[in-house]
Structure 1
Amino acid sequence: MTREHHYAIDLTWTGDDGEGTRTYRGYRRDHVLSAPGLPEIPGSSDPSFRGDPARWNPEQLLVASIAQCHLLWYLHLASTAGVVVTAYEDSPTGTMVEGADGSGSFREVTLRPRVTITADSDPEAAAAAHERVGAFCFIARSVNFPVRHEPVIVVEAAG
């Protein structure tokens, strides 16, 4: 059985300083992402492309989406495998390559999850769950570049 899920957001450009896009340097890249009942996300372009470094850019949000999806599927798979996760942190990175004409694409994203499990959990099962995530994560399955994993499993002291 196939199910469809639909997602809707609102995107509002807030960077018109009175002249619109009359010149390339004459407008800000600022915008706001919103959806009913959720906090707004202030966005801009990457500072390399005249964006505001105090706002999220699309490239960061793409890396964040992949990392969030991995986290959520990992917790599910660990739980079903009997692995008790007590902490999870990640410091993912993404590499985008820009062409001479200004176009670009991501080369890869690398996730570096540091997962803490209870002393009675199986570290091998915890590590294996990371490898299984790629088959389930909706976001990682939708991109056309590699998503790499460099997990660290920490086992709590028995006590």
Structure 2
Amino acid sequence: MAKEHHYQQKLIWTGNMGKDTLSYQDYKRDFEIKLPSKATILGSSDPAFLGDPTRHNPEDLFLSAVSSCHMLWYLHFCAVSGILVERYEDQPIGILTEEKSGAGQFTKITLHPTVWIRGSEHVTLAKELHAKANSFCFIAKSINIPVDHLPVIIVVE
């Protein structure tokens, strides 16, 4: 039997500047994401859509969700495979294609993880585990766009 995990949060629009949504320019795109016992995430739309550049936007959060989910599965598979990971960094790139109508969607994500491991005998497996992590990542499995990986493995002695 499948096990279900439920996630819930509260999203609050905080951008009313006193004119409600009278016109497209009369409100801020600011919002807060609140989760019990966690720091509030301050969000806005991308600056290209009149958002606050100092706040996280949905596109940032989406890309971060894919990257961090992949990393967590990858670290798990390294741990159970006997690969000692000293450090992990990723610089994911997401491509969002906007249509003339203003609608749009992500069309591709490429993860660029750099992984520092101990032991040169594990380099091949360390690279291969990225494909396995992708096939287990809850977020990557929930989207219908390709998630590519261009890993760099660095051996630390």
In structure 1, the residue matched to 2:79 is 79
In structure 2, the residue matched to 1:38 is 38
Where do residues 30-69 of structure 1 align in structure 2 (5 Å cutoff)? 30-69=30-69
Question: Cα gap change, 1:86/1:121 in structure 2, threshold over 3 Å: closer, same or farther?
Answer: farther
CA offset digits 1:92-121 (Å, max 9, x no partner): 110000000000010111100000001265
- Stretches of structure 2 lacking an aligned partner (at least 5 in a row): none
Superposed CA RMSD: 0.9
The residue type equivalent to 1:9 in the other structure is Q
Whether the aligned pair in 2 keeps the contact of 1:84 and 1:118 (CA below 8 Å) is: yes
Write the distance in 1 (CA, Å) between the matches of 2:119 and 2:19.
62
In structure 1, the residue matched to 2:140 is 140
SS in 1 for 2:129: helix
Q: Greater helix percent: which structure?
A: 2
SS in 1 for 2:53: coil
Whether the aligned pair in 2 keeps the contact of 1:84 and 1:121 (CA below 8 Å) is: no
Write the distance in 2 (CA, Å) between the matches of 1:129 and 1:93.
20
SS in 1 for 2:101: coil
Write the distance in 2 (CA, Å) between the matches of 1:57 and 1:120.
39
In structure 2, the residue matched to 1:111 is 111
Write the distance in 1 (CA, Å) between the matches of 2:44 and 2:4.
30
Write the distance in 2 (CA, Å) between the matches of 1:134 and 1:113.
12
Whether the aligned pair in 2 keeps the contact of 1:83 and 1:121 (CA below 8 Å) is: no
Cα offset, 1:90, TM superposition: 0.6
Q: How high is the sequence identity, in percent, across the aligned residues?
A: 45
Whether the aligned pair in 2 keeps the contact of 1:21 and 1:27 (CA below 8 Å) is: yes
Corresponding pairs, count = 157
Write the distance in 1 (CA, Å) between the matches of 2:120 and 2:112.
23
Whether the aligned pair in 2 keeps the contact of 1:108 and 1:147 (CA below 8 Å) is: yes
- TM norm structure 2: 0.98
Write the distance in 2 (CA, Å) between the matches of 1:38 and 1:128.
34
The residue type equivalent to 2:112 in the other structure is R
Indicate the larger mover: 13-22 or 115-124. Answer: 115-124
Write the distance in 2 (CA, Å) between the matches of 1:146 and 1:100.
23
CA offset digits 1:6-46 (Å, max 9, x no partner): 00011010000001101110000000001010001000001
